[in-house]
Amino acid sequence: MSVKRIGVLTSGGDAPGMNPCVRAVVRSALYHGLEVYGIRRGWNGLIHGDIVKLDQKSVSHTINRGGTILYTARSKEFMTEEGQRKAVSTCKFLGLDSIIAIGGDGTFRGARALSKYGINVIGIPATIDNDISCTNYCIGFDTAANTAIECIDKLRDTMQSHERCSVVEVMGRHAGYLALYVGLAVGATAVLVPEKEVDFEKDVIEKIRQARFNGFTHYMIVVAEGAGSASDIAKRIKQSIDLDPRVTVLGHIQRGGNPTGRDRVNATKMGFMAVELLMAGKTNRIVCTNEGSYRDIDIEEGLAMKKNIQQMEIDLLAAMTGYHS
């Protein structure tokens, strides 16, 4: 397999660390004497030819920047066979023999579709949800978690002053990894995640009562967006106990901000590895991490895997919030 010209794109929801990853792809490709092109606005850019040539200057001073200099989007058109054929035509017209796609599972499904037309593809996991099954860690998770922790720490100051209950909703789509991590880090009274069925009386109300009995006058409930609406949970608390909770939905602020050192370094290593895989003649792979080491896995295999919160983490949550699971 001969690699001469690489295209790189970011797709789906943005994640802090995408820019360092793009930078690493560009610098690694140039190191090997390859040409590299930035595909703007994800798969839409490949369909419509929204592509620019990248060099060292293009990615200069981007390692510390949040968001993505290539922009990102979700593409319904690319989900169709016609859209995929248009993308392939763009690749052939520009001589792109390989695509490095940075994003989540939707991005990888797009890469898998493109590979069926003979284009070499490598996927790099980047999502604040940290829900890609084949990897322990996704680019953007650490920054998003630290953003949420900082916001909740500040929120706690005012909640403590007014002796209030606060219900905070964090992102994560259908996964609770972000909420669990943040909840443990801020010492939440209760944490609700979609992977664990909620017994509202036991998992929320009784924990508030126990905290009150132990002398606490403020209570922090962290909710993953996939586990329910923070507003609905606040209403149920008000109906069940003599409290008037305040609701905070952190929303898209969690996707912003300068990437942490951990995200910058992981993104850099993953971008470098993606280019190395192509140089080694590999295609249809996803770059993964496993307990600090880096590996690659077939896209089909990676997409078929299921990721669940480990029982140890559920037990840890139960111990830290005061009740048996």
Which residues are paired to 191 by β-bridges?
A: 222
φ/ψ of 286, rounded to 5, equals -115, 130
Which residue type does 317 have?
L
Task: Output the 3-class SS for 149-166.
Answer: HHHHHHHHHHHHHHCCEE
Sign of dihedral through CA atoms 223, 227, 231, 237?
Answer: negative
- Classified as helix, coil or strand, 41 is coil
| Separation CA 176–CA 124 (nearest Å) | 21
Spatial contact of 139 and 102, defined as CB atoms under 8 Å apart: yes
Which two tokens mark 101?
Answer: 């796609």
* Residue 87 and residue 47 in contact, taking contact as beta carbons nearer than 8 Å: yes
Please give the single-letter amino acid code of residue 31: Y
Q: Is 129 a catalytic residue?
A: yes
φ/ψ (deg, to 5) at 181? -60, -50
Residue among 129, 131, 142, 203 flagged as catalytic: 129
Q: Is 131 helix (H, G, I), strand (E, B) or coil?
A: coil
Residue 134, CB half-sphere, CA atoms under 13 Å: how many? 23
- What ranges in 95-205 are assigned the alpha helix state H? 105-115, 141-162, 177-186, 200
Distance CA 94, CA 32 (A): 19
Q: How many CB atoms lie within 10 A of CB 325?
A: 13
Which H helix or E strand runs over 129?
none
Catalytic residues: 129
